[in-house]
């Protein structure tokens, strides 16, 4: 029995709150007051690249359904699927033209219902991606909005006159290059787009927009969805007076002078809208995960909400830019852990170079991948994996501009090669196309797929995949990992990051060697009241105990010691 089920059973026997998760009823909490999304391990799936069931070189919903047993055996509790709604695919689904349907390239609504039912059978929850900031320029709302200045949906988007003939309304920049304004010659006004011109920003100041968008979440909740990952929340609102952003030193990757995005990002109004969206989510015991690009850990607090009434899980994406050192990680985790909400750890996603590639030193690549797994899967908080991380999938960047699929990669080539590299097909088997498709895959698999794939790694007890499976099993079985507090120890060690996860009379000591040299570390846990604890190694890779209080670690090795009082 998994830990949450055990807790609910015990809680139930003890007469503690235990209620089903249906609409209008109080949510399930365990004896520690934790909700399902605090216990769950989330797994992000980029549907174009997960599994192709119909041989067109592109992944689909039936492909995901066919792999649910793999996900269950891995230890995943919830899958977040990036957009599979109808879309012209300018931004590979993040340009939605209908929020309440399925793009035929991914299947049908019946396929979705089958995925939902099969997931439910396996106790895997579904999380969808909710693109709140913008729609596609092919969405019927925008087509109407563009049709005339007096159209019913005109004010659903942000239309303005130019500053002067030929001049956009202000100096705001699209994050994907060029101006953030596109001129429409037929109605002689500009519309605002923070991303591609094909992604016009919605006007969230219009209550009709809010209602339509909130209704979209209800539509999916009623179809069994357990929550949403909110895309680009930072940019939902803009200054109504459209003030120019102040200049900043330097130029960006497109060669444009930098500006401070003061008037089109992180406006206070976002929080009021999130509070209202959260009320809807609460009716369904659902979770809201945020794509929150904070520039400082303290900003996470704002997204949790003053009364924890906004996003339950704002992602800490700063972790992905940290220098690879014990000290940097120790300081960062301390800040996130004390940020006031339930922490969320992510080490890569479909917009960020894969962690395997980011941290590789050319010599200990697999060891580093295992170390990173032991790190983010043993912290206090929720972990969100990215498909293929568990295999040590690496980036496979385009070799020339002609090969690039991601438009931003074409615009910023060669400074930035775009995001194709981290979106390549899941590596299921050795051999042709890594078992992803019978056809030509939409992106090529790297040569390392020959060794880093599910079949090969399942046969090897020391593979990255085997380490992930053991760590995920521990997350479900060890109360200290789910419920325990977090306390770092040996804080002056420049090479080894170590911490305790303590719950009642048990603790796990996690010891991570962030250096490429062998380290021998001594622990004195008397001050933690653990001097007399019985100890045993719960999991280790490239590490062993050397005497009662000492652990020896090979370069990038990790050791997890279980202590029981
Ligand atoms: C963030 C998404 O993760 C990214 O892939 C997309 O391009 C932008 N938002 C725009 O929707």
pLDDT value at residue 548: 80
pLDDT value at residue 8: 36
Range 488-522 burial, b when 16+ CB lie within 10 A, else e: bbbeebebbbbbbbbbeebbbbbbbbbbeeebebe
What contacts 185, CB < 8 A, 6 or more positions away?
Answer: none
**Mutual angle of helices 207-222 and 269-283, in 10-degree steps:** 30
Q: Atom of ligand 1 at shortest distance to CA of 94?
A: 11
**CB of 307 closer than 8 Å to CB of 284:** no
Q: For ligand 1, atom 11, which residue shows the shortest CA distance?
A: 94
What is the whole-number distance in angstroms between the Cα of residue 412 and the centre of ligand 1? 16
What contacts 241, CB < 8 A, 6 or more positions away?
Answer: none
The dihedral built from the CA positions of residue 160, 165, 410 and 172, taken in this order, carries a sign that is: negative
What is the whole-number distance in angstroms between the Cα of residue 327 and the centre of ligand 1? 31
Among 52, 91, 103, 231, the active-site one is 231
pLDDT value at residue 24: 53
What is the whole-number distance in angstroms between the Cα of residue 398 and the centre of ligand 1? 19
pTM, two decimals, is 0.95
Among 56, 283, 416, 450, the active-site one is 283
pLDDT value at residue 547: 82
Q: Atom of ligand 1 at shortest distance to CA of 134?
A: 11
Q: How far apart are CA 29 and CA 19, in angstroms?
A: 8
pLDDT value at residue 449: 98
Q: One digit per residue, pLDDT tens: the chain, 565 residues? A: 333 333 333 333 333 333 334 555 566 788 999 999 999 999 999 999 999 999 999 999 999 999 999 999 999 999 999 999 999 999 999 999 999 999 999 999 999 999 999 999 999 999 999 999 999 999 999 999 999 999 999 999 999 999 999 999 999 999 999 899 999 999 999 999 999 999 999 999 999 999 999 999 999 999 999 999 999 999 999 999 999 999 999 999 899 999 999 999 999 999 999 999 999 999 999 999 999 999 999 999 999 999 999 999 999 999 999 999 999 999 999 999 999 899 999 999 999 999 999 999 999 999 999 999 999 999 999 999 999 999 999 999 999 999 999 999 999 999 999 999 999 999 999 999 999 999 999 999 999 999 999 999 999 999 999 999 999 999 999 999 999 999 999 999 999 999 999 999 999 999 999 999 999 999 999 989 999 999 999 999 999 998 888 999 999 999 999 999 9
| Of 327, 333, 301, the residue nearest 314 (C-alpha) | 301
Q: Atom of ligand 1 at shortest distance to CA of 176?
A: 7
Q: Is 231 a catalytic residue?
A: yes
344 pairs with which residues across the strands?
A: 382
Q: Looking only at Cα atoms, what is the longest distance across the chain? A: 79
Q: Atom of ligand 1 at shortest distance to CA of 419?
A: 5
The number of residues in the chain equals 565
Q: How far apart are CA 181 and CA 226, in angstroms?
A: 36
**Mutual angle of helices 464-477 and 3-13, in 10-degree steps:** 10
Q: Is 478 a catalytic residue?
A: no
What is the whole-number distance in angstroms between the Cα of residue 304 and the centre of ligand 1? 21
Which residue among 195, 197, 320 has the greatest number of ligand 1 atoms within 8 angstroms of its CB, and so is best to mutate? Answer: 195
Q: Atom of ligand 1 at shortest distance to CA of 133?
A: 11
Q: How far apart are CA 154 and CA 298, in angstroms?
A: 37
Q: For ligand 1, atom 5, which residue shows the shortest CA distance?
A: 351
pLDDT value at residue 28: 79
Q: What are phi and psi of 548, to 5 degrees?
A: -60, -45
- A 10 A CB-CB count for 446 gives 19
Q: How far apart are CA 195 and CA 240, in angstroms?
A: 19
Q: How far apart are CA 73 and CA 491, in angstroms?
A: 36
pLDDT value at residue 26: 62
Q: How far apart are CA 216 and CA 210, in angstroms?
A: 10
What is the whole-number distance in angstroms between the Cα of residue 67 and the centre of ligand 1? 25
Q: How far apart are CA 339 and CA 304, in angstroms?
A: 9
Q: How far apart are CA 441 and CA 444, in angstroms?
A: 6
Q: How far apart are CA 248 and CA 269, in angstroms?
A: 24
Q: How far apart are CA 81 and CA 12, in angstroms?
A: 33
Range 100-122 burial, b when 16+ CB lie within 10 A, else e: eebbebbbeeebbeebbeebeee
What is the whole-number distance in angstroms between the Cα of residue 303 and the centre of ligand 1? 19
The dihedral built from the CA positions of residue 70, 55, 436 and 354, taken in this order, carries a sign that is: negative
For β-strands 382-386 and 344-346, DSSP reports them as parallel
Q: List, chain by chain if needed, residues with CB within 6 Å of any ligand 1 atom.
A: 91, 94, 131, 195, 231-232, 291, 350-351
68 burial level (CB within 10 Å; 0-12, 13-18, 19+)? middle
32 burial level (CB within 10 Å; 0-12, 13-18, 19+)? middle
Q: What is the dihedral of CA 245, 247, 253, 255, to 10 degrees?
A: 110
- The two counts, helices (H) then strands (E), for the chain are 16, 19
Helix ranges (H only) for 14-60 are 36-39
**CB of 73 closer than 8 Å to CB of 124:** no
**Cis (ω within 30 of 0) for the bond into 240?**
no
pLDDT value at residue 555: 98
**Residue 298 tokens, joined:** 């303290």
For β-strands 550-564 and 506-513, DSSP reports them as antiparallel
Q: How far apart are CA 419 and CA 92, in angstroms?
A: 11
Q: How far apart are CA 195 and CA 93, in angstroms?
A: 13
């Amino acid at each position: 029995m998994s830990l949450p089920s055990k807790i609910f059973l015990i809680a139930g026997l003890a007469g503690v709150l235990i209620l089903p998760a249906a609409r209008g009823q109080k949510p399930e909490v365990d004896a520690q007051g934790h909700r399902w999304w605090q216990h769950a391990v989330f797994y992000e799936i980029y549907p174009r690249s997960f599994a192709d069931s119909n041989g067109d070189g592109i992944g689909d919903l039936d492909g995901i359904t066919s792999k649910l047993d793999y996900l269950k055996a891995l230890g995943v509790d919830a899958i977040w699927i990036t957009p599979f709604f109808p879309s012209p695919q300018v931004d590979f689904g993040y340009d939605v033209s209908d929020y309440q349907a399925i793009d035929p390239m991914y299947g049908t609504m019946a396929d979705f219902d089958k995925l939902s039912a099969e997931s439910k059978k396996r106790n895997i929850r579904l999380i969808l991606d909710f693109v709140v900031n913008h729609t596609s320029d092919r969405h019927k709302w925008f087509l109407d909005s563009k049709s005339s200045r007096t159209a019913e949906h005109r004010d659903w988007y942000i239309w303005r006159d130019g500053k002067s003939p030929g001049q956009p309304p202000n100096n705001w920049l699209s994050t994907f290059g060029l101006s953030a304004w596109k001129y429409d010659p037929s109605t002689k006004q500009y519309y605002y787009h923070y991303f591609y011109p094909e992604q016009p920003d919605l006007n969230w100041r219009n209550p009709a927009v809010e209602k339509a968008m909130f209704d979209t979440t209800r539509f999916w909740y009623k179809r069994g969805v357990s929550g949403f990952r909110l895309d680009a929340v930072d940019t939902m609102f803009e200054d109504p007076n459209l003030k120019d952003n102040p200049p900043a030193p330097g130029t960006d990757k497109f060669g444009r002078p930098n500006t401070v995005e003061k008037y089109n990002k992180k406006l206070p109004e976002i929080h009021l809208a999130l509070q209202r969206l959260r009320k809807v989510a609460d009716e369904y015991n659902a979770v809201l995960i945020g794509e929150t690009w904070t520039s400082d850990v303290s900003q996470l607090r704002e997204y949790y909400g003053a009364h924890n009434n906004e996003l339950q899980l704002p992602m800490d994406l700063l972790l992905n830019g940290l220098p690879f050192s014990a000290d940097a990680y120790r300081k960062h985790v301390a800040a996130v852990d004390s940020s006031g909400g339930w922490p969320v750890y992510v080490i890569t996603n479909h917009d960020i170079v894969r962690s395997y590639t980011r941290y590789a030193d050319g010599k200990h690549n697999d060891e580093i991948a295992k170390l990173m797994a032991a790190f983010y899967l043993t912290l206090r908080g929720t972990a969100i994996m990215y498909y293929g991380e568990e295999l040590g999938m690496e980036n496979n960047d385009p070799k020339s501009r002609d090969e690039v699929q991601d438009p931003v990669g074409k615009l910023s080539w060669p400074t930035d090669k775009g995001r194709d590299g981290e979106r390549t097909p899941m590596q299921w088997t050795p051999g042709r196309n890594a078992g992803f498709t019978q056809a030509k895959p939409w992106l090529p698999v790297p040569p390392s797929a020959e060794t880093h794939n599910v079949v090969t790694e399942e046969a090897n007890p020391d593979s990255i995949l085997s380490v992930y499976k053991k760590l995920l099993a521990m997350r479900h079985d060890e109360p200290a990992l789910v419920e325990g507090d977090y306390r770092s120890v040996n804080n002056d060690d420049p090479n080894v990051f170590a911490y305790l996860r303590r719950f009642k009379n048990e603790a796990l000591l996690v010891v991570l060697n962030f250096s490429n040299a062998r380290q021998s570390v001594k622990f004195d846990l008397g001050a933690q009241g653990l001097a007399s604890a019985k100890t045993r190694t719960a999991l280790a890779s490239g590490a062993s105990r050397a005497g009662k209080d000492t652990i020896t670690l090979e370069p990038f090795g990790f050791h997890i010691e279980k202590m029981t009082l």
